[in-house]
Amino acid sequence: LGPTVVIGEILVEIMALTRGNGFLEPIELVGPYASGAPAIFIDQCARLGGAAGIVASVGDDDFGRLNVERLRADGADVSAISVSPDFPTGSAFVRYREDGSRDFVFNIGKSAAALIGLTDAAKALFERAGHLHVMGTAFAIPGAWEMIEHALGVIKGRGGSVSFDPNLRKELLGQGQTQARFQRLLDLADLLLPSGDELFVAAGVEGEEAAVAALFRRGIGEIALKRGEKGSSFFGGDGTRIDRLAFAVTEVDPTGAGDCFGGAYVACRRLGMAPAEALDYANAAGARNVSVRGPMEGAGTRAELDAFIAATPRLP
| Contact pattern for ligand ADP over residues 176 through 195, marking x by CB under 6 A | -------------------x
Question: Which range in 94-102, 112-120, 139-147, 241-249 contacts ligand ADP by CB under 6 A?
Answer: 241-249
Beta carbons within 10 angstroms of residue 184's beta carbon: 17
Choice from 63, 247, 265, 308 touching ligand ADP (CB under 6 A): 247
Q: Is 44 helix (H, G, I), strand (E, B) or coil?
A: helix
Residue 74 zone, left/alpha/beta (φ > 0; ψ -120 to 50; rest): alpha
CB of 127 to ligand ADP, least distance (A): 30
CB of 279 to ligand ADP, least distance (A): 8
Which of the residues 61, 259, 280, 306 is marked catalytic?
259
Is 190 an annotated catalytic residue? Answer: no
Q: Is 251 in the site for ligand ADP (CB under 6 A)?
A: yes
Q: Is 257 in the site for ligand ADP (CB under 6 A)?
A: yes
Q: Is 228 in the site for ligand ADP (CB under 6 A)?
A: yes
Choice from 227, 241, 302, 314 touching ligand ADP (CB under 6 A): 227
Sign of CA pseudo-dihedral 75, 2, 189, 118: positive
Burial class from Cβ neighbours inside 10 Å (0-12, 13-18, 19+) for residue 241 reads middle
Whole-number Cα distances in Å, 227 to 206, 231, 244: 16, 5, 10
| Residue (87 or 164) nearer to ligand ADP, CB | 164
How many residues bind to ligand ADP according to rule CB under 6 A?
A: 19
Whole-angstrom Cα distance, residue 246 to residue 27? Answer: 34
CB of 135 to ligand ADP, least distance (A): 10
Whole-angstrom Cα distance, residue 110 to residue 93? Answer: 15
Q: Could you please report the per-residue DSSP string of 198-258?
A: HHHHHHTSSSHHHHHHHHHHTT--EEEEE-GGG-EEEEETTS-EEEEPPB----S--TTHH
Choice from 55, 148, 191, 246 touching ligand ADP (CB under 6 A): 246
Choice from 37, 135, 189, 290 touching ligand ADP (CB under 6 A): 290
Choice from 47, 95, 131, 226 touching ligand ADP (CB under 6 A): 226
Q: Is 249 in the site for ligand ADP (CB under 6 A)?
A: yes
Question: Which range in 19-27, 28-36, 77-85, 251-259 contacts ligand ADP by CB under 6 A?
Answer: 251-259
| Residue (124 or 276) nearer to ligand ADP, CB | 276
| Residue (90 or 258) nearer to ligand ADP, CB | 258
Whole-angstrom Cα distance, residue 290 to residue 277? Answer: 20
Residue 132: closest CA among 117, 112, 116, 149: 149
Q: Is 12 helix (H, G, I), strand (E, B) or coil?
A: strand
Applying CB under 6 A, the residues found at the interface with ligand ADP are 195, 226-229, 231-232, 246-247, 249, 251, 254, 257-258, 261, 283, 286-287, 290
